[in-house]
Amino acid sequence: MVTCAFTKWVEGLPAPNDTAQTTACLLMNHVFSRYGLPCRVNSDRGTHFTGEAMTHLWEALGVRASLHVSHHPMSSGQPGEANIATAYTTHHYMTDLQDHLKQTFAFAQRKLGNSAEGRKAYYDQKASHNELQVGDQVCHDSVKLIKFADDTTLIGLISNNDESAYRREVDRLVSWCSGNNLELNAQKTVEMIVDFRKSTVPPPPPSVMDSPITSVESFRFLGTTITQDLKWEPTISSLIKKAQQRMYFLRQLRKAKLPAQMLVQFYTAIIESILISSITVWFAGATVRDKQRLQRIVRSAEEVIGRSLPSLQVLTEKIEEKAEMQKDELAKQISGLRDELMASIDQANNRVGMLDERTASLEEAVNMHSNKMADLEQQVVGLKKELEGLLAKTEDLEARSRRCNLRIFGVKEGQETGARVSTYVAELLQYVFKLDTEPVIDRAHCTLQKTPDKGHPPRAFVVKCHYYQEKDAILRKALASQRLVSKDGDTVRVFPDYTHNVARQRAAFIQAKQLLRQCEGVKYGLLYPAKLKITTGDGEQKMFTDPMKATTFARGLLDR
């Protein structure tokens, strides 16, 4: 990548490798020969590479060189930015080109006529209704829409003072932009009227976004100034001014005694490219005086270079001839593309016929399977009801099996060592609740969990009482007691042993119970399996099975 620090021009040169010898050849043959010799060169490739590649060039031409290494660059960083920008632009260009070709192929496949046998009328009708996006078309032949990048130009032909078609297209364009999340800039939107009638009354300008459009006498369209009277003097004057500014550099190169061939190349790339900008548009309508002004630039360049240069008339003819050649070549390519598309469409039609047959067989299979699915759905509904009943019955059986169970929390790990667990638990309950006799315990064990590490809460005891009355009496005393302490000083808590589902349902009422504790004169209780009963201070009773509703009611009591 070679960049110009003055004009910001970026030149990408293809090369088989990036050696110093190849770089020197590229600079001499493609850069210096086209643009002339630079007065200063900055390099980010390091002293060794730059010295090897350009020592003979700098010594021969007397150019000062500033060499910087990549670890401590002192240049503007433009080459690195150019490399990144080139790679980014190339990647996105190839991606967009691929997507565009896919869309073009699909559109051409729909729009091109097809007379092959076997094509179904459905697809003919479908293809005949495929159109471009609504924003790409106009409804009236007298109005043309031209889009370039983010600029849109609407051209309307007014006949018999009838502007209805033109104004409808303006309103339609504004509506389409609004519907597609686009907004027209009313301040930068202008209208120019070209009217060569003797007596004219300017019509009122249309409005965009409730703002009237400014009427102008000229505007720039793709770099070319178009005036109300269709004269090209402003465009030509602008081109002449730019060309005269660049003539200064041509004279400076002549003073540096560059070869005439390099001067011609500089003129062609820098000056002539400006003079022929949009020349096929305005040259035929230019006045003799304007053509003479343009030709003076060419003659001045001839005097500086010392060689004859092609006139603008010759350049115009060459450009038009080349445009015709490109037009013919493009027509051939389009014709070849159409033939390829037609062949592809024929193949697609054959495949469509095969797919129709397969679709018919699949429809029969789908109908058969749909009937089976209906039967299976009915069976699933019945099985679902049966499963719900079995789950409810299983939950009830598990809860009944735990009716005599207790859970004891707070006993440190290893306290039951040396004795049977059931005996230890019976003695613990007798001591904690001051019972006359030890309760009859059928079975007792720790919860089936891994032994916790030191410093973590101990496991709970699961206790199976032999008599339900003893279990109920222990729970009542536990509920009435403020704090229960064992012989070893452990704070003990005793709760019923609920199933997992019941415990989860009861835990959902924790927030509501915390709020109710703060309410004065309010009593509450959590009934089995998970029903919160609340009695207010005035004797009103409420029963809740929904934790959210219970929490809302508790907040209301707290705010009274």
36 Cα distance to chain centroid: 45
CA dihedral (492, 498, 501, 505) in degrees, to 10, reads -60
* Confidence (pLDDT) at 397: 92
Query: b/e map of 131-147 (b: 16 or more CB within 10 Å)?
Result: eeeeeeebeeeebebee
Burial 356-380 (b: 16+ CB within 10 A, else e): eeeeeeeeeeeeeeeeeeeeeeeee
51-110 per-position pLDDT tens digit? 777 776 766 566 665 555 444 445 555 555 666 666 667 666 667 766 766 666 666 555
CATH for 500-560, options being 3.40.50.720, 3.30.250.20, 3.30.110.70, 3.40.50.300: 3.30.250.20
pLDDT tens for 278-311 read: 888 888 888 899 889 989 999 999 998 888 898 8
- Sequence spans of domains, the chain: 2-82, 142-216, 233-309, 321-386, 402-497, 500-560
Total number of residues shown for the chain: 560
Tens-place pLDDT, residues 137-165: 555 677 777 776 667 888 888 888 778 88
Q: Which amino acid is at 221?
A: F
> CA-CA distances (angstroms) from residue 556 to 188, 376, 512, 517, 552?
61, 50, 11, 13, 6
pLDDT digits (tens, 9 = 90+) for 423-462: 999 999 999 999 999 999 999 999 988 989 988 999 999 9
Token code pair at residue 547 = 């934790």
Enumerate residues 6+ apart whose C-beta is below 8 A from 189. 208, 213, 214
Do 402-497 and 500-560 have matching folds?
Answer: no
CATH code matching the domain that covers 402-497, chosen among 3.40.50.1100, 3.30.70.1820, 3.40.250.10, 3.40.50.300: 3.30.70.1820
Contact predicate 459/413, CB 8 Å: yes
Half-sphere exposure of 100 (CA within 13 A, CB side): 6
* HEC-encoded secondary structure of 135-203: HHCCCCCCEEEEEECCEEEEEECCECCECHHHHHHHHHHHHHHHHCCCCCCHHHCEECCCCCCCCCCCC
